Structure 1
Amino acid sequence: MGLFHDSSNDNTTCPMPRPLVADASENFIGEFTFHKFNMILSGACTAITCLVILFAMIKHSLRFSNPNEQLKIMRIATLLPIYSILSFIPICFPNSYVYLTGWIEVIQGIALYTFLMLLCDFLAPNDRNRVVFFAGLRIPSRKDKNEKRDGLTWLQKTWYFVLQYPAVAAILAVAQCITEAADVYCLESNNRHFAHLWLNVIRIISLNFAIMSILRFYANLKSYMQEHKPLLKLLAFKMVVGLVFIEQIIFMILHSTDALKETSTMSYADVYIGLPTMIICIQMVPFAFFFNYAYSTKPYRVSSNSARYDNSMEYLAVEENEAGRSYQSRQYQGGPLGIYAWLAFCNALEFFREITSTYHMFREGRMRMVDPMTSQESYRMQYSM
């Protein structure tokens, strides 16, 4: 018995045909079936998205004047081409859809977490300054506006709420592949006997925690980041996630009400997989151009006559010298053809190193707030540059 289906019971038999074949009996346009038309259109859109984002990443690698921020921007940028590629592959091979969609959520979770850390970089360029900045903040409580919480504790909770999403998404992606292989997932059904319903519920709850945490982070600290245009960057990122989520709900309603069903020109695979993924591939094209604009390299450009000491509001790496003047490193650090930037980008261990570094930052920061004298030496050794 249990949650998942018993094949002897017709009410719990998955109605989804196996294997999936895009075999519509009539052509959709001219000599093309919907499947072939979809492959051509979605393939072209995927290629455009990849080229536009690659161009944006190349620009950042060549103008790599602030490695911390620009490396995160390059990582966030990969969400769009990966979304397109992992949506295009199931159009060509419909049976791969369930095995790939879960990993899109993992990439999306990593991008959400990276975006949170990018906002933290806008506020303070390193862990030492970050502890000082957030420890001095008092964040209004959601339940009682008169009640204030210390900023460091609030940041730590926000960090956990956002970090849980890629971790949960990775577990769900593995579970989705296993249950699909065991024939207990059933993409079409929301019956409680199939894993599809339960995995989706967990995914939605996890995503909601992450999204709401980032929105609250922006709402509380937007006044400190105006020169970085955080709303524009948030929209360039949030619209991708939000629109795809809304479309999933719309298609779920259309399928459940039989408003969208297979026809002579559209097979089962076309309706349930081809059409939703085609829309994703198409909409990633304007998102790619918008991303290029929102995450422009203009603030990172180094002019030939730029001063060593600069009081401008451009978001280059900022350090405080003994005189209290803002010092900005005004040189590109990407190396020939941006090779150093690409090597750092391809180093997956760097992502996990940042997670452990942030964890230690919270631990040392809390120790410093509780007992500044006993933690001073440990804190200096951890964060001194």
Structure 2
Amino acid sequence: MGLFDSFKNDNATCPAPRPLVADASENFVGGFTFHQFNMILSGACTGITCVVILASMVMHSLRFSNPSEQLKIMRIATLLPLYSIFSIIPICFPNAYVYLVGWIEVFQGIALYTFLMLLCEVLAPHDRHRVDFFASLRIPKRSDKNATTDGLSWLQRTWYFVLQYPIVAVVVAIAQCITEAAGVYCLESSNRHFAHLWLNIGQVLSVSVAIMSIIRFYAHLKSHMQEHKPLTKFLAFKMVIGLVFLEKLIFLILHSTNALKESSTLSYADVYIGIPTMIICIQMVPFAFFFHYAYTTTPYRVSNSRARSGTSQGYSAVDEAEAARTYKVRQYQGGPLGLYAWLAFFNVFEFVREITSTYRMLREGRMRSADLVESEESYRMQYGM
């Protein structure tokens, strides 16, 4: 029995042509077919998005005064140009679409996880502060608003719910490539005999859990981040993911109802690949400018006068007394032309190290909380309280 026998069925035929060719019989506008028009428009939008985001990243690398936060901002920023680049390539080469679209989800999952870590960084810059801060919180339970759970356990669950998304996305992306090569994926069909249906279900469930976890995290803790303009940062990131997710559902409905179909000016590749990817390329342009505004480098600037006086321009820690005792004059740490910042940005092991250190922080925090509870119970039993 072959690996893909469960997907095969003699009565199930994939309607998608192989290979895909943008071969509309009539021009869409002037002397251009829709495919040619799409490549020009989407290519221009992709170029603008890349330039705007690169400029923002360069500014952060040159004003690299808070590496923990700014490195995360630079990682999140890459989502927009990657969206555009991984959309323009399938426009030019439609047969590459299935092999690339899954990896966009991987980048999105990494950006979503990094955004959660950025919010944690803003709330408490150091691991010990973070443990103390979340341990002091009481979060209402969704099942019973009168009952609460401790903030550290809640943070751990949120962390797992968000981290699972990039992991699932990698598995789905690999499965898409394998099943497409084996001829059992079928981009258009939602027939249960094709892998497209099952991989989509797994992907939708995974991203839904991650997004809802981030929204709940923000909703409960936004009052602790007011000075950092959390709503602007939240919208600049969440609107990108939310809108792309909504568009996928809309196009799924349009295709299933035949409201959007081939014509003399639109080929199969244009309908199923060209139009959705073109919309992504176009909308990334305003999102890039909004991101540049939301994640400005202004909070990270270090003026000479403030550096001499020892006054911080950065975000204050949750425990301000402790921060004052351990305060060091901030300075730019990006090195010549931001080289050190870029080396850290491209260091994959640095990202892995952040995941493992967060896991250790949560585990040690839970153990410390458990020891504290046990000590309190022993004290009550000893003194009959």
Segment of structure 1 superposing worse, 172-181 or 300-309: 300-309
Change (3 A) 1:324 1:80: closer
Of residues 141-150 and 183-192 in structure 1, the stretch that sits farther from structure 2 once superposed is 141-150
CA contact (8 A) 1:72 1:114 kept: yes
| 1:184-195 equivalent positions in 2, closer than 5 A | 184-195=184-195
The structural deviation recorded for 1:329 is 3.6
Mean Cα displacement is larger for which, 250-259 or 303-312? 303-312
- For residue 318 of structure 1, report the CA deviation from its aligned partner: 8.3
Deviations 1:90-131 (A, max 9, x none): 000000000000000000000000000000000110111111
Is 1:223 paired with 2:223? yes
SS of 2:65's equivalent in the other structure is coil
3-state DSSP class of the match of 1:139?
Answer: strand
Q: Name 1:31's counterpart in structure 2.
A: 31
Corresponding position of 1:159: 159
- What CA deviation, in whole Å up to 9, does each residue of 1:164-202 have, x standing for no partner? 000000000000111111111100001111111111111
Match of 2:200 in 1: 200
Task: Give % identity.
Answer: 74
Cα distance in 1 for residues equivalent to 2:323 and 2:57: 36
Code of the residue aligned with 2:41 in structure 1: it is L
Q: Deviations over 1:59-95 (max 9, x none)?
A: 0000001000000000000000000000000000000
Equivalent of residue 4 in structure 1, options 2, 7, 25: 7
CA drift of 1:212 comes to 0.5
> How far apart, CA to CA, are the structure 2 residues paired with 1:23 and 1:323?
64
Tell me the distance in 2 between the aligned counterparts of 1:340 and 1:265.
50
Displacement after TM superposition at 1:3 (Å): 4.3
Structure-2 residue corresponding to 1:301 = 301
49-58 or 29-38, larger mean C-alpha shift: 29-38
2:246: which partner in 1? Answer: 246
Give per-residue Cα distances to partners, 1:328-354, cap 9 Å, x unaligned: 542111011000100000001100000
Shift in Å, 1:238: 0.6
Task: Name the counterpart of 1:335.
Answer: 335
- 1:168 aligned residue: 168
Partner Cα separation in structure 2 for residue 185 and residue 306 of structure 1: 59
Offset of residue 4 of structure 1: 1.2
- Aligned-partner SS, 2:304: coil
**Residue type at the aligned position of 1:310:** T
Distance 1:371 1:278, change over 3 A: same
- 1:1-385, aligned counterparts within 5 Å? 3-6=6-9, 8-9=10-11, 12-307=12-307, 308-310=309-311, 314-315=314-315, 324=324, 327=327, 329-371=329-371
Contact 2:133 2:318 in 1 (8 A): no
- Per-residue CA deviation, residues 249-289 of structure 1 (Å, 9 max, x unaligned), is 11111111111111111111111101110010000000000
Rounded to whole Å, the distance in 2 between the matches of 1:98 and 1:207 is: 18
Aligned partners of 1:323, 1:84: CA distance in 2, in Å?
41
CA distance in 2, matches of 1:322, 1:231: 28
- The count of aligned residue pairs is 371
Q: Provide the TM-score with structure 2 as the length reference.
A: 0.92
- Find the aligned partners of 1:321 and 1:259 in 2 and give their Cα distance: 62
Distance 1:228 1:286 in 2: 22
* Change over 3 Å in CA distance of 1:54–1:324 after alignment to 2: closer
Structure 1 residue 142: deviation in Å?
1.1
Structure 1 residues 257 and 311: CA distance shift in structure 2, 3 A: same
Query: Alpha carbons of 1:81 and 1:139: their partners in 2 closer, same or farther (altered >3 Å)?
Result: same
For structure 1, list consecutive stretches of 5 or more residues without a partner in the other structure: 375-385
Q: Is the 8 A contact 1:22 1:270 kept in 2?
A: yes
SS at match of 1:149: strand
SS at match of 2:289: helix
Does the C-alpha gap of structure 1 residues 222 and 183 become closer, same or farther in structure 2, counting only changes over 3 Å? same
